[in-house]
Amino acid sequence: MRLRILAYHAIADLSDDRVLAEYGVPPHLFAAQLEALAAAGWSFVDLDTALAALAGERELPRRALLLTFDDAYADLLDVAAPIMADRGLPGVVFAVAGQIGGTNEWDNKKRRMTIDLLDADGLRAVAAQGIEVGSHTISHRPLTEIPEAELEEEIVGAADRLEQAGLPRPRTFSYPYGEWSPAIAEVARAAGYRASFTIDCGVATERTDLHLLPRVEVQASDTPRKLRLKLLSAGWPAPLRDVLLRLARG
């Protein structure tokens, strides 16, 4: 059993912001990526299927993929969800529980473009369309840089707040900026999440720690062809992968 997990952020053209540009996949590119992956034989699975397979309870189709989205930008409901619904694709979104209906304030401190996040109605609406809502802390601070005493509030408190917003208690968690440590992963495990997602590149199997699931980050410069190569090489050693992706450029 091998599972690749894609990590998207905004489905929007953010090319006006030098830093955020790579984290916004324009809608037409998002649709083209999904089309190309399906055409290349990739199968999109839902979270239940992925969790059961990771627990060794079921097999997955060859080339299995789980779609995930960090931050819960408003464009998930307006743009991405319809594109996914047309193709019957499920997914998971990780919401910043202290910014429900807010903005990417964690970026704004660095004078980045302001992007709207889904409010509680929007989160419930994407959930109703098969995009399960997971947690991405309360404040989106890098967990490796905050006092240990605040970890529990960020990780457990985020689940409480999502529940208070009328959502099911989240089953999954994603580390802001992909920053984790063994101690942080233990807090996520003890908090009762079923699985936690990093942005370490790799391929998940039955042997992968459920609280250190690897993902393949999707960027604005990923042509459909480059994304296919990223997925195929996700389990390779980083230097080999870099060579392949450099050759694939353009």
The answer to whether residues 66 and 44 touch, using CB atoms and an 8 Å cutoff, is yes
Bridge-partner residues for 67, per DSSP? Answer: 6
Please choose, out of 21-29, 67-75, 125-133, 242-250, the segment that lies near Zn ion by the rule CB under 5 A. 67-75
Local structure of 97: helix, strand or coil: helix
- The interface with Zn ion within residues 164-203 (CB under 5 A) comprises 176
The DSSP-derived string for 108-174 is: HTTTPPP-BB--HHHHHHHHHTTEEEEE--SS---GGGS-GGGHHHHHHHHHHHHHHTTSPPPSEEE
* 71 binds Zn ion, rule: CB under 5 A: yes
The answer to whether residues 191 and 159 touch, using CB atoms and an 8 Å cutoff, is yes
The whole-angstrom distance between residue 137's C-alpha and the CA centroid of its chain comes to 13
Local structure of 47: helix, strand or coil: helix
- Between CA 124 and CA 123, with CA 94 as vertex, the angle to 5 degrees is 15
* 222 binds Zn ion, rule: CB under 5 A: no
- Which residue, 171, 173, 201, is CA-closest to 4? 201
Which residue of the chain is nearest Zn ion when measured via CB? Answer: 70
Please choose, out of 50-58, 62-70, 160-168, 198-206, the segment that lies near Zn ion by the rule CB under 5 A. 62-70
In the complex with Zn ion, the residue whose CB is nearer, 23 or 42, is 23
* 107 binds Zn ion, rule: CB under 5 A: no
In the complex with Zn ion, the residue whose CB is nearer, 42 or 175, is 175
In the complex with Zn ion, the residue whose CB is nearer, 8 or 42, is 8
* 70 binds Zn ion, rule: CB under 5 A: yes
CB 205, min distance to Zn ion, A: 25
CB 71, min distance to Zn ion, A: 4
CB 60, min distance to Zn ion, A: 26
In the complex with Zn ion, the residue whose CB is nearer, 119 or 217, is 217
In the complex with Zn ion, the residue whose CB is nearer, 157 or 176, is 176
In the complex with Zn ion, the residue whose CB is nearer, 64 or 212, is 212
Q: Which two tokens stand for residue 26?
A: 């324009």
Number of residues in contact with Zn ion under rule CB under 5 A: 3
CB 70, min distance to Zn ion, A: 4
Burial class of residue 50 (count of CB atoms within 10 Å of its CB; 0-12, 13-18, 19+): buried
Chain residues that interact with Zn ion, rule: CB under 5 A: 70-71, 176
